[in-house]
Structures are given as structure tokens and as C-alpha cells.
Structure 1
Amino acid sequence: MPSQRVVLPRSTPTASGMSSRSITALLDRLEARSVECHSIMVVRRGHVVAEGWWAPYSAERPHLLYSLTKSFTSIAVGLAIADGLLSLDDRVVDVLPDHVPADISEQGRRLTVHHLLSMTAGHRTDSLTEAWQLEPGDLVKGFLRVPFPDAEGTRHAYDNPTTFVLARMVERVTGRGLPELLDERLFRPMGVDHAEWDRVASGAAFGFHGLHLTTEAVAAFGELLLRKGLWGDRRLVPHEWVELATRRHIGTLPFEDGSGDADYLCGYGYQFWISRHGYHGDGSFGQLCVVVPSHDLVVAVTGATTQAQAILDTIWECLLPGMDQAGSTREDEILADRLRRLSFAPVLGSAVPDRSLTARLDASAENSALPDGTTVIVDPVDGGWLLHFGASLRVEVGHGEWRESSPLGRPVVAAGAWQGNTFVAELYVITTPHRVRVVVDADAGTAVATWNIVPLTSPSLGLHLRSPLMTRPDVS
């Protein structure tokens, strides 16, 4: 595993003008609300003042960002515009003429970079599924074929294909792949050398999803935005683009039942959400980059939760009151010790080193990660186990400790134990928010393997252990 490169300087809450108690309160509140976080990093006045990972997650691991990826694609658009290769008024049909359907509507012909960035193309809901069904081999063409019930520029709808189209437009005008462009212009100058991208079956980066970065890289991105595109003394992104991308361009609407989360009803920028305080990039299951310019504050979070609003609420309720409050070095030390000890508990139970078991998987369980009838073998080896799933998948499992393997390319970190006549293991697909709980009943000869949260791309465990993940873009 590569060592973690330090990208941001370190300090303490007290030295940076905030109270450690406010960060402790944040951790307490997240725990009380059962919000599963995998990492957190707090940056104040340009310095990391608090950082922690819930083991087996760790600092050097990149983590799938889901739709937080969109904010990085927005920056790529800004770079293309700054280079004079693209403009906000450029139309999709002019930049990507080979992706224009024969029956395109007049509104489809009028769609511009601005409409895509602000997600105001005229759809009322996410068009991804319909677009993909219409054109399985060309998501741009499928997007342009989905009917537009509203006039462009008049209504926001969270619409994944808009970002996919933007990525393809940037690639067309720059002659570079989106990952390569951002590596050259953004990541490498910042000292980030581990960006990983999931891709659609053609090999193209999703653009709207699929970027994996470490927590520190996400926090550094927030700091770059906070500094209006300046990294040290080097201008990486035009000041004007950061200002434009992170301001409100369109109002956001509540759900059809009238409900909605407070920080998602403040408006939308160019692939950024406007918040009650500042703005944020957002990815499914708690991937957040929160920027609060008024407090010189950045908070990066990764996790596995459907309670993103609860994370934002906790930041506002706990961290903001601690700004410019007196703290103490003793409180800093207590907080740092707590952050070092964050962990998910390995599965409790006994080793029973001589006991093996063969079972048949029952996929009728909700959120099953493997096909029905898969043969599951629990094979004791060297203080742990080797789990066999069918003919080709082998996962190493530790007892009382995490054990890592990469059976198909992507790392899995796992721990397990016997609990009576039942074998239980937790398999963390460690560069994602997702894990699989395996329960094997020795008496019944059956097993279940279920996701904590089903990945948005596919429920297939085997697919998510391949790197890079290459799949159809049915992701929200």
C-alpha cells in the first residue's frame, strides 16, 4: 500500500482559533444519530486541525465519492473555458454533432453548457435510466432523446446525464480524457497522485460519479475552492470560475410530497449545492466536501449513510458555535486521542480453527450480494479463514483483526468469527462505502451475503471487486 503523501499542513484546533470541544460534540452527535462515517477531516485557516478514520478505513485509502465527482467535472469545464476552448453558450449539438439523434427536438438543439452545469435542461426528474434505455451505446444521444417537459433554464432537476455530457464535451474540445486533464491541471500540482476513476463499459469516465480520492485530497479540493483556485502561490483554477460555479444559479425544489432537506433547498450552482452556510459538493451515502468561506472552514466526510442532511446539521450545530472560541492544549490532546481510536469493531466470537463448512447461498435475502445457489466454503487458514464464493472468488478473513486481500483487483478488508453454529464475516469493499455481511448457518447448510447499502451501480459483489469498475451508467 502506498504511503500517504501529506498535502495540507497540520495544526491544532486551539492554534487555529476553534474549540476542540466543538469537534468532540460533532463526533458525539453523529454517534447519537447513528450516522455511519468512515472519515472526517476539519480544515481551519488552511490547516488540518482534526482528522480521523474509522478502522478498517484509513488515511491512505481512496474512497468512492459518488456524485461529489460532479464538482470536479465542473472544475474541468472551467479549465476548458479558461483555455478558450469552450463557453457557457456553446451548444451540445455543435460540440458533439456525432451524438445528435436524427429526431432531436428544437429544445434539445438549444441546450448549452450553462443548462448542463446548472441542471436546467428541462427534465423534471433524473433522465439517466430512460436515456440509457433509449440509447444503450450512447448516453449523450439518449439524454437528448428524453422529452423535455419544461423550458430550458427554468427549472432545476437533479439530472445525472448532464454531467456525463459535460465530460464528453470537455474531452472533445481539449483532446484529453477527463482523468488525464484533471491529473495534469489539478491533482498533480496539488500533490494528489492517487485519483482513481470508475468507467462506463466503453472506457470513458462517468464524470457524474466514480472518482475515488483520499479524505485529504477531498479536503484539499475544498481548500482550493476556499482560496478561489489558488494553491500556494500557483493559480490552478481561475478565480472567476470558482466564484461562478459556487454561487446560486437556480432554485431547488422540494420533493413531490413537499418534503426536502434544508441544505438541498438553498439552490444549485454549477455542479455544487448551495448550503445554509457556504456550499458543498455532495455524493450519495455521505460523501461531502463542505466549504464555509465566512468561517475559513472546510470539512471533508466519507461514509455510508442516507443521512447526509444530518451530517450538515451537525456541522452547523456543533462546529460553527466553536469558531473563535477559546480552547486548551489538553482538550486538543483528548480529541486527538479519540480520533486515533475510531474503529468499527471486528466480528465477535471464537476462532474454532479446525472447523470448515460448505453451504449454499440463499439470495432471497434482501440486498443479496451474490447469486442464488452460489457455493460458499468457510476454510480455516492461519489464524483466520479463506472464504470461497463459487469457483473464482476467494476472500481472506481475519479473526479479531482485519485481513486484506485483492481477489479480483480491488482490496477487501474482512474479519469474522464463529458464533455458536453460525459463521459471521464482514467484508469491507474498502475503497467504497459498501460492505457485505456473510452469515453461514452450519445446521441448515445455507448462507446469506447482504450489503449494508446496495451499490448504485449493481448488487453484484464480484463486479465491485474489479478495478477499475466498468459498468453501465445506471447510477444516481
Structure 2
Amino acid sequence: MYEKLISWVEHIKEKNHSSGAALLIIKDNQTVLEHYSGTQSNFPGAKQVTSKTRFNIASARKSYLGLAVAYAVHEGKIGSLDDFAVDYFPEWDPDLLGSTTIRHLLTHSHGLNTAQEGVPFREFSPGQNWAYRGINIRMMTELVNRLYQKSFPQLLKERVFDPMGFSETGWEIEPHENLAEVIVEPEERADSSLGSTTDGMDKNLFVSARELAQWGNLHLNMGKAAGKQIVPEEVVRLATAIQSPVYENKDLPQNGFFWFVQGEPALQSELGEKVPRGSYQILGVTGPTVLVIPKHNMVIVKMYNKRYNYGDENYLHYLREFSNLAAEL
């Protein structure tokens, strides 16, 4: 049943020069497939990928930030998604922020970008287009950390990770034998991809395939795990429902709190046309993906350790292909 998806994952591993891969599927709250292959780095003698291997999940970490923001909205620390960003970022140029809202910052519709010298500028008017940038992630990380007077990783550790018993999820600054290194250039030694801080500002979240799948399954079950309500249902609902403004261009992706959410299939979305409405997915540049399909009561996770997966080719083609294959299971 799963051979086609396993074959696809292995093909992409070889095509993109990833040294290791993992594929894990949870169906009806039971793990129905675990597949691990390759090594944690690309040097001779590197440790084999196992269930304990933790991959750097890069931008897939945005789903964790999204849940922290959903807590802030649910608890009234953020009044409304349509509050103006300038009310929360008084240090910013109000003319630059203009009519940007919290909703825009969460759904990649804010129109802000950063020049090479670090100076922010505006690409398009808020809500009028979609662009995947890093500036909104830094802004929302700073905001949540400020609102709670603690880092959002610490907030999630207290409210989610510890109650879930997670021991293979964390922002890492020290080497560990189970951390997969990230390959940038196939002919060069992989990079440790450790960070300098654990406050959520660095791209150093390492997660095992098992715990990334459990993270997705927690969302699938609207915050419940083992019969216990770990996260309030409304917090999960906020994070995983479509929150994007109404675009004139219907080909643009739809987002929840950073999650990509399937509404009407859109050509520029990473979710393929076969993926059922209400499904949601997040991915990272190093190859990890967690796809949640509520209609099938299923979570599918794949992991790689190669930066810039799919090279210069049309990465959307491969992402849509993966999600379409998963939706056919």
C-alpha cells in the first residue's frame, strides 16, 4: 500500500543528494508506517538514520510559532487578527507598516521584505498579494516572546512538549549524536546547523520523525492526545483554519497561522489538487514536511537533510506530487 510513496521518497533522496530520509504515517491514531534510510551526514562512517534521528526542520518550525500565536489570540494578548501591526510594533516606522495587520503577518500577505543591508521595505500593499519572506517570522517571534515574557519555545515546552512527553523536539545549540547534519553542497561536508540561541529566532529546531508526526496528530485531534485535552480546541482551530485575506488572484496559496491550508485548489499552493479540503501542511527548505489530512484521519511526515531540495527545478511540482500521492493512500 505504501510502496509507491516509499519509492518516491527514496527517489527524491537520491536526486537531491540527501544522505538520509525518513517517512512516517499515522492513521486513525496508530503508526502504520515507519521507514528510515541512509545516514545522518554525508561523510564516511556517519551514523545510520533511525527512529531516534532528529532532523533540522527549518521553516517547518513556523507551525510551532503559529500555535504560540494562536495561544496569544485565544488568551486575548492579541486582540484580533485584524488589529493593525503598528499597535504591536511601536518601534517600527508606522508609514512602512501602514495598514498591515496581524492577519497579514501570519498568512504571508504582508508585503514586507528586507534588503541585503537589513533595511525593511515594502514590496506590495498589505493583503494584495502573497510572498514567502522571513521578516514576518522574526516579527511574530519577537511579539510572542514579548507578550509572554518568555520565548515561545519555552511557552510550548511548558504547555505542549512536556505534557506530550516530547524528548526529541528542541532548538539545539550543542552537538548530539542523534542530530542529522544539513547538506548544502553534495561534494562538501554537511553543516551541523546548530543555532546560537534557543529563543526561537534561529533555524535550529531539530525533531524526530516520530515527534513531528505526533505534533501533526495533536493538531488532527484538535489538541487531544491519549484522551487528554493538551491544547485548547479553539487554539488549534485558529492555527489550522484558512485565515488569509480574500485575494483577487485565486491561484495564490491559502494559509492558517503559517500552515498551508487546502481550500479551493490553487496553482501556486504546495498542496496538490487531489488533497482534500481542510487538509494542511508545512515544510522546510531542508526537506521535512508534515501533512495533515483530517478527511482521512491521517498524518504523513517525510524528512531529509539536504538544503534547497529539488535544486533549481520547479519545487512546487515535487511538493504537489508528494501531497497528491499521500492523498491517494
Interval of TM-score (by shorter of Structure 1 and Structure 2): 0.7 to 0.9
2:224 — aligned with what?
230
1:310 — aligned with what?
318
Cα drift, residue 28 of structure 1: 2.3
How far apart in 1 are the matches of 2:11 and 2:208? 26
1:293 — aligned with what?
294
How far apart in 2 are the matches of 1:251 and 1:59? 41
Partner amino acid, structure 2, of 1:148: R
Q: Deviations over 1:219-276 (max 9, x none)?
A: 011101111222233323332333333233257999xxxxxxxxx9542222011324
Q: Deviations over 1:9-61 (max 9, x none)?
A: xxxxxxxxxxxxx2112122334454555111011111111102114122112
SS at match of 1:133: coil
Q: Deviations over 1:174-224 (max 9, x none)?
A: 1111211110111111110232215876764226x3311111111011101
SS at match of 1:53: strand
Larger Rg: 1
Distance 1:91 1:221, change over 3 A: same
How far apart in 2 are the matches of 1:110 and 1:265? 21
What is the 5 A alignment of 1:189-338? 189-197=163-171, 204-206=199-201, 209-248=203-242, 249-250=244-245, 266-274=253-261, 275-276=271-272, 277=275, 278-303=279-304, 304=306, 305-306=309-310, 309-310=317-318, 312-317=320-325, 319-322=326-329
Any conservation in 1 of the 2:9–2:21 contact (CA below 8 Å)? no
Any conservation in 2 of the 1:215–1:300 contact (CA below 8 Å)? yes
2:149 — aligned with what?
175
How far apart in 2 are the matches of 1:253 and 1:23? 39
Distance 1:89 1:253, change over 3 A: closer
Any conservation in 2 of the 1:251–1:267 contact (CA below 8 Å)? no
Distance 1:152 1:32, change over 3 A: closer
Distance 1:308 1:27, change over 3 A: farther
Cα drift, residue 147 of structure 1: 2.5
| Structure 2, unpaired ranges of 5+ | 39-47, 174-194, 262-270
2:87 — aligned with what?
94
Q: Deviations over 1:103-132 (max 9, x none)?
A: x24241543321210122123xxx24x1x6
Asked if 1:41 is matched to 2:24, the reply is: yes
Count matched residues.
271
If each structure's strand is expressed as a fraction of its own residues, which one has the higher value?
1
How far apart in 2 are the matches of 1:218 and 1:171? 23
SS at match of 2:255: coil
Greater than 6 Å deviation, 4+ residue runs: 251-254
Partner amino acid, structure 1, of 2:21: H
2:117 — aligned with what?
133
Any conservation in 2 of the 1:30–1:311 contact (CA below 8 Å)? no
How far apart in 2 are the matches of 1:212 and 1:253? 38
Distance 1:253 1:154, change over 3 A: closer
2:9 — aligned with what?
30
How far apart in 2 are the matches of 1:298 and 1:309? 21
Any conservation in 2 of the 1:42–1:299 contact (CA below 8 Å)? yes
What is the 5 A alignment of 1:70-85? 70-85=62-77
How far apart in 2 are the matches of 1:217 and 1:59? 10
- State the TM-score, normalizing by the size of structure 1: 0.52
Any conservation in 2 of the 1:281–1:288 contact (CA below 8 Å)? yes
How far apart in 2 are the matches of 1:252 and 1:282? 23
Q: Deviations over 1:432-472 (max 9, x none)?
A: xxxxxxxxxxxxxxxxxxxxxxxxxxxxxxxxxxxxxxxxx
Any conservation in 1 of the 2:70–2:257 contact (CA below 8 Å)? no
SS at match of 2:6: helix
Q: Pick one of 101, 115, 125 that aligns with 1:112.
A: 101
Any conservation in 1 of the 2:282–2:289 contact (CA below 8 Å)? yes
How far apart in 2 are the matches of 1:109 and 1:253? 20
Partner amino acid, structure 2, of 1:298: V
Partner amino acid, structure 1, of 2:64: F
Any conservation in 1 of the 2:6–2:35 contact (CA below 8 Å)? no
How far apart in 2 are the matches of 1:320 and 1:59? 24
Computed over aligned residues only, the root mean square deviation of the Cα atoms, in angstroms, reads 2.8
Cα drift, residue 313 of structure 1: 1.5
Distance 1:84 1:234, change over 3 A: farther
1:52 — aligned with what?
35
1:439 — aligned with what?
none
- State the TM-score, normalizing by the size of structure 2: 0.73
Distance 1:242 1:253, change over 3 A: farther
Percent same amino acid at aligned positions?
22
| Structure 1, unpaired ranges of 5+ | 1-21, 135-141, 255-263, 323-476
How far apart in 2 are the matches of 1:321 and 1:267? 22
